[in-house]
Amino acid sequence: MFIDELVLYSYIFSLTILLIFSSHGFIMLYYHKKYKKNNPVQNKSDLCDKTITVQLPLYNEMYVAERVIDSVCKLDYPSELLEIQVLDDSTDETFDIVAKKVAQKKSEGFNIVHIHRNNRKGFKAGALKAGLEIASGEFIAIFDADFIPKKDFLKKTTRYFSNDEIGMIQTRWEHLNEDYSILTKVQALALDGHFVIEQSVRNKSGFFINFNGTGGIWRKECIIDAGNWNDDTITEDLDLSYRAQLRGWKFIYLRDFTTPAELPLEINALKAQQFRWTKGAIETAKKILPLVWKSHIPLRIKLQSTFHLTNNLVFPFILLAGILNVPLIFIKNAGPYDNFFNFMSIFVLAFVSSFLFYLFAQKDIHKDWRKKMTFFPIFMAGSMGLAVNNSRAVFEGLMNRKSEFVRTPKFHVTDENDLLSSNKYFNSTKVESSAFIELLLAVYCFIGVGASIYFGELAAIPFQLMFFFGFAAVSALSFKHSLLKDKKVRVK
């Protein structure tokens, strides 16, 4: 009896946490409607009299380095006011590729410099900081290696530096390879929720937003005033964003101007990216939240910032709920707990909130939103499947376990005709120990599916299936993508 009640109360506690964070989607949608017309102010004409430094942080990006350099050199901006820094920490063939490309662009008259460090001290934050020390620009635009900025990026974004309080302009990410596979389609759905709703709503409502690490432009004075780039978290972009806004700087988010980029098309690369984002957010929350609550900003901003910085705490509770789902089937059919299970029906609101959140995001930017929302169940299952990977990230962040900045491999694969033929970075991916745990959990959750069918618990079957398919898909892809070595393959 004691064990049964412990399982029940633990499950209810987990669902309560998930309900609190998921129901925040209702708040986002409320502000989305309330402030829909609260658009950022821009100058009426292009501001092409400001010096701008474009920084391209690279680390072993042999397949996309030339592409991002070429795209930046096509930016429509007076050449005498434009400086390009290739911040190259590479240890492989990328160095020679970049050196050759930079030399070519210099001969064509571009003000471009190749800055190579012999160590990765501070990782991306260290590279950006080193480049900033010698940057001549009043403004600093930053693009990761897999991004392809549009020609009018600088002209469009600098218009929004309408007063001296504006410190950063962030653009929405566009997905070059969204339709490549189910994996990329699901990622696009997830990211659109952040970029279409979260970033836009927070900005229009007067809350803090974050620089997304790329596809944005900073006022150099803002970076320096906020304390410059720090490397004590692995999400240096989120950290600097909050420090700057706590100093009084204003940010602007441009939902309707996009910067194209590649999505990870390989599950182990995605897991590495998710791990870095999750752990870094927890590290930043521990560092920044005390400053947020000690500051004199309004309470509504403090509360919203707390949700923003701590939302990754849901992953351990998703994992716990998945584990407890199975014994609950047996407990329900063996004990007098009908009132508990009747009460738990309220937690369906968490699913409803998430569905509406992503539905409105798709409707805002896609005409074929109905087709895209068919991937929502797969997205939900995938979120459950990544719970092991991301829970480990949460715990490492909470326990101050330091780790290096693991880059997300870029493959220069954007459509179905592109092959991963002897791709060095694809072949270097390894099976993480989490894949074995995910496989065991898939088998475990399959027992829950069978038990639900046996006992006729029809309402439980969809959630049992999502946990099963989530863990099964993530583990299967982890093994599959790690074993496809030196083959001409498409990752589907």
Residue whose C-alpha is closest to residue 282's, from 245, 312, 316: 312
* Alpha helices, H only, 311-458: 314-332, 338-343, 348-365, 369-373, 376-385, 387-398, 424-427, 433-454
> What is the pTM assigned to this prediction?
0.93
Going from the C-alpha of 492 to that of each of 183, 351, 478, the distances in angstroms are 7, 27, 13
Determine contact, residues 355/424, Cβ cutoff 8 Å: no
| Token pair listed for 213 | 């690490």
Report the catalytic residues. 89, 237
| Token pair listed for 484 | 């496809």
| Token pair listed for 277 | 């984002």
Cα–Cα dist 230/68, whole Å = 25
Q: What is the pLDDT along the chain (492 residues), one digit of tens a residue?
A: 678 889 888 998 999 999 999 999 999 999 999 999 998 888 766 667 889 999 999 999 999 999 999 999 999 999 999 999 999 999 999 999 999 999 999 999 999 999 999 889 999 999 999 999 999 999 999 999 999 999 999 999 999 998 999 999 999 999 999 999 999 999 999 999 999 999 999 999 999 999 999 999 999 999 999 999 999 999 999 999 999 999 999 999 999 999 999 999 889 889 999 999 999 999 999 999 999 999 999 999 999 999 999 999 999 999 999 999 999 888 888 767 666 666 667 778 888 999 999 999 999 999 999 999 999 999 999 999 999 999 999 999 999 998 777 777 777 766 666 555 556 766 555 677 889 999 999 999 999 999 999 988 888 898 899 999 999 999 999 998 777 654 444 545
Count of helix runs (H) and strand runs (E) in the chain: 20, 7
- Residue in the block written with tokens 């930053």: 142
